[in-house]
Structure formats: C-alpha cells, structure tokens
Structure 1
C-alpha cells in the first residue's frame, strides 16, 4: 500500500476556497480503482494549512490518478491561491 501526505498551504484567507475547489477532486478520486481512502484535513493550529492524506493499493494506481482530468483540474484551479508549492511525501507500507 502507498500512503501519500500532500501538505497544502493557502495564501492568507484562501483556505476555504481551496476546500471548496477540492470537492470534485475528492468525490471523483474516491471512485477510482485502487483508491483506499482520500481525505482532506484542516490544521487546528495554522488557519492556512491543509493536508490531504491518501491511501492507494499500489504506486501504479497512484500514477494513474495523477493523470486524471479531475486531478489536473484541481492543480490548475488552486495554483494561484497557494502560498507555496505542495509538499508531497510518499510512504510504502505493508500491513503486519
């Protein structure tokens, strides 16, 4: 299994706009084959910080996800309201 954490930092006052623009991404991603979970969380300490935590069956389905129209549309929609580039970390895990 692959776990992804994508740290999203909004420009001041733009967090709710990013949350709104993420709704289609979340909805359609959860329907993708190989998606185990896909959730957006807001920081309780930083009003401009969000994190997307994703679980995928394997790297191949994650790679396919990153080529979807809804993934690309989200990136284009929020590009100008991000305070910094997304911080993306991937982890390979196995259940024990």
Structure 2
C-alpha cells in the first residue's frame, strides 16, 4: 500500500474556497480503481493549511491517478488560491 500526504497552504482567507474546489477531485478519486481512501483534513493549528491524506493499493494506481483529468483540473482550479507549491510526501506502507 502507498500512502500520500499533500499539504496545501492556502492564501489567507481562501480555506473555504479550497475546500469547495476539492470536492470534485475527492468524489472522482474515490471511484478510481486502486484508491483505498482519499480524505481532506483541516489543520487545527493553522486556518490556511489543509492536508490531503491518500491511500493507494500500489504505486501504479497512484501514477494513473496523477494523469486523470479530474486531478489535473484540480491543480489548475486551486493555482491562484495557494500560497506555495503543495508539499507532497509518498510513503510505502510495507514494514521498514
């Protein structure tokens, strides 16, 4: 299993708009083959920070996701709402 965290730092006051624009990608991604879960979490410490927490069956499923229309559209839709580039970290859930 692959776990992905994507930290989204929004411009001040853009949190609700970011959450709204995330709904389509969340709904579509949850239907993808190989997706186990796809959640948007809000920071309790910083109103401008959101975290996309994803679980994938394997790296191939994640790679396919990153080529989908809804994923690419989401990136374009939030481009003017984010304060900096997303911080993405990919983990293997296999025992280390």
TM over 0.5: yes
- Give the CA RMSD over aligned residues: 0.8
Q: Which runs of 5+ in 1 are unaligned?
A: none
- Any residues of structure 2 matched to 1:15-94 within 5 Å, and which? 15-94=15-94
Structure 1 residue ranges, 4+ long, deviating more than 3 angstroms after superposition = none
TM-score (norm 2): 0.97
Partner Cα distance (1:64, 1:52) in 2? 17
Q: Which runs of 5+ in 2 are unaligned?
A: none
Aligned length: 95
Partner Cα distance (2:71, 2:15) in 1? 18
Specify the alignment match of 1:7 in structure 2: 7
Give a deviation string over 1:26-69, Cα, whole Å, max 9, x none.
00000000000000000011000000000000000100000000
